[in-house]
Structure 1
Amino acid sequence: MSAATADPALKGPLAGSVRLGFLMLYAMVFVLAAGWLTTNLRQVPPDSRAVVFRFGRVNRVQEAGLLLAWPTPIEQVRLLPAPDKQIAYKVQAQQTGFQSDETDMQLEPNDDVIHLQGDRDLNNSAYIMTGDGNVVSLDATLFYTITDPTAYLLVEDHVLPALQRTFLASAIYLAASRHLDDFLVAQPDQTDVDANNASDPKVVALAARRQALRSDLVATMNERLTALRATGQDLGVSISRVDLVALLPPVAKAAFDAVLTAAQIADQGAAAARTDAARMTQEADRQRDELLAAASAAADERIRTAMASTDPVDALEAQETPANRDTLLSHAYQDQIAAILQRVGDVTAIDMRGGKQLVLPGPTP
């Protein structure tokens, strides 16, 4: 009897509500399970790649595309930049909190301040020495790519400090064999270079040397990273580019600026002198051309006058023969002597072989 009375109760409204609640709970659990199973179903962006960890160990590397992985905590996914994506890292200069009188500022002599050589060397550690005995500070930005994601993730926290130490070691090594002008234009007066003339072959050569310095720095850093990889300490990165800005110590920069200013003023004075010399040369050339032209014209005029004066003689010579030579000369003499006698007042003719004189009256005034 009790069982018969219990069956209708189980089929009542309460039992339906309980069954519905359990069905909703099952559905919710199913949805949650489906969501958990698809937590690592994702799209890897084109500029990234995914590293899949299974129980804390690297299982595989997935390039851009659809990623299928077991949910956490079975597999974990870490996104890293693509192999061809460059990552920038600004090299941090060492901060000592002290300004050195040898590089950063000039201090007034003070008996209360004692500078020890060791402290000076420590406080000047941000500067490196070049092969010609100068010092320079390098403000650098490194661009690197991740070549081995597994090795990179194993030492991720140590990659940037290692890159900074590698950069400093490579920069010190290269600076020892380079001159200051390989880093920046600092001594154009000593290298006979016109820094304002971009087409000057020496300017082009210096620019090529500065570019070569950056290329050598990249190559040297990659050589050091390869050496680390050979010893089992692979960082999983490779240097692709270095943006380098060389800075002089403030005191030295002021001195170099003063030298550059003086050199520019001297260049301007030399340019003005060359301009004046060119103008004076042009004026002298113009005057010379005028004198030559005037002399040539005068010579031509005198030649034409002489030729006009000798034309009658040339005409006589053209008509001269042995038979009529005396007659032509007599006629020419008479013509010329008549013109001469017309311009004189009187003429006294003396016969050198006798004592007779002949006085001819001239024209009446």
Structure 2
Amino acid sequence: MIKLNEFQNRFFWVICYSRRKEKGEMSARLVIIFVTIAILVAYFMTGIYQVGPSQVALVKTFGKYSHTTGPGIHVHAPYPFQTHVIVDVQTIRKQEIGFRTVRPGQYVQKKEEALILTGDGNIVSVEAVVQFRVNDPVKFIFSVENAEELVKFTTESALREMIAKRTVDEILTAERDKVSYEVHQITQQLLNQYDVGVTIINVLLQEVVPPQSVIAAFDDVNNAKQDKERYINEALKYANNLIPSVEGETRKIILEAEAYAQQKVLQATGEVQRFLSILNEYKNAPKVTETRLKIETLEEVLPKAKRIILLDGSQNITLLSLDKLIGGDGK
């Protein structure tokens, strides 16, 4: 009896083990199936992609560009049959020359880029920013390698060329905006030749200063130039104030001289007319005219005298009464 029971127990355990083994194998198969399905789903999910509002997607078939898709959700064949590259075509991008932005409001200068030789042998420190937008994403991605760096190097080359054509004074003062415009134009022409597919929006010269080691000397020179300009302006102001005054005084003197000359001419003309009239009267009545002239002269010379004593040519004293001459009573 004892041996029979042991056999039954062993048989029972064998059956239980077999069932457990079958369940384990079935579970393993299910796990494998689920994993396989998950892998297949994940694999096919590689063909689903989303494009943002300001972006386009460049789809490649076996590594070669095939077509472009716009914003939205799209599907293509999974990797490695097809892949895609997302390109932002609306956002304005920028490249910095002579400095780098660490974080908003904090910058680090790159001296090897900032120092540029001018046409008169001086050196200036220039910090510039080039702003651009992608106008042809296919050329931007597939025509050149690292198109953004090419934009930076092209702008820097044009900037050095334009500054090398000018003196340091021109760069620091009046020619700054003109340099920005010329660099903009040259950079765009070169990038069009390179077929990069970008449009330059603007080239900004943020800072153009002498190198730090000589900035004190430049400040002295600039101060001297400013003093020179100030003195010149003060002299011009003084001259502008003085010249009208002198011109007015000159004009006044000229007008007075012309008036005096006119007065003398009229006076002389009047005297001539008076002399001629007296001459005519003298011709008609010499004695009367002579006496009248004497009386007028005496009245002018001695306006208050009533009697005048004359000494004639024979040394005789003669009493001359003006009242009698002019018809008075002599009292």
Is the counterpart of residue 258 in structure 1 residue 226 in structure 2? no
Following the alignment from structure 2 to structure 1, what is the Cα–Cα distance between the partners of residues 283 and 154? 116
Residues 1:79 and 2:41 aligned together = no
- Alignment CA distance shift 1:153-1:299 (3 Å): closer
Are the counterparts in 2 of residues 40 and 70 from structure 1 also a CA contact under 8 Å? Answer: yes
1:242 equivalenced with 2:230 (yes/no): no
**Residues 123 and 50 from structure 1, CA distance in 2 versus in 1: closer, same or farther, beyond 3 angstroms?**
closer
Match of 2:187 among 215, 218, 224: 218
CA 179–278 in structure 1, closer or farther in 2 if over 3 Å, else same: closer
> After superposition, where does 1:124-273 map in structure 2 within 5 Å?
126-150=114-138, 152-153=140-141, 158-181=146-169, 183-185=171-173, 203=174, 206=175, 209-211=178-180, 213-215=182-184, 217-219=186-188, 221-222=190-191, 226=194, 236-238=196-198, 240=200, 241-245=202-206, 246-273=208-235
Of 38, 57, 71, the residue aligned with 1:50 is 57
Change beyond 3 A, Cα 1:75–1:328: farther
Amino acid at match of 2:312: A
Structure 2 match to 1:101: none
Q: Say whether the 8 Å CA contact 1:54–1:76 is kept in structure 2.
A: yes
Would the aligned equivalents of 2:180 and 2:205 in 1 still touch at CA under 8 Å? no
| 8 Å contact from structure 1 (residues 85, 145) kept in 2 | yes
Q: Deviations over 1:62-94 (max 9, x none)?
A: 3x5667533755755543233x76422223649
Shift of 1:272: 1.7
Shift of the alpha carbon at 1:214?
A: 1.4
Q: Which has the higher contact order (CA 8 A, sep 6+)?
A: 1
TM-score normalised over the length of structure 2? 0.59
Query: In the alignment, does 2:304 pair up with 1:347?
Result: no
Q: What TM-score comes out, normalization by structure 1 length?
A: 0.55
Tell me if 1:361 matches 2:319.
yes
Contact 2:154–2:187 (8 Å) recurs in 1: no
1:326 and 1:126 map into 2 onto residues whose CA distance is 107
Cα 1:330–1:66 change in 2 (3 A) is farther
- Structure 2: where are the runs of 5+ without partners? 1-36, 101-108, 322-329
- What is the number of residues matched between the two proteins? 265
After superposition, the Cα gap between the structure-2 partners of 1:327 and 1:301, relative to the gap in structure 1 and judged at 3 Å, is: same
Q: CA deviation at 1:127?
A: 1.8
Output the aligned Cα RMSD: 4.5
Structure with higher helix content:
2
SS in structure 2 of the partner of residue 131 of structure 1: coil
AA matched with 1:326: K
Task: Please tell me whether the aligned partners of residues 98 and 114 of structure 2 are also in contact (alpha carbons under 8 angstroms).
Answer: no
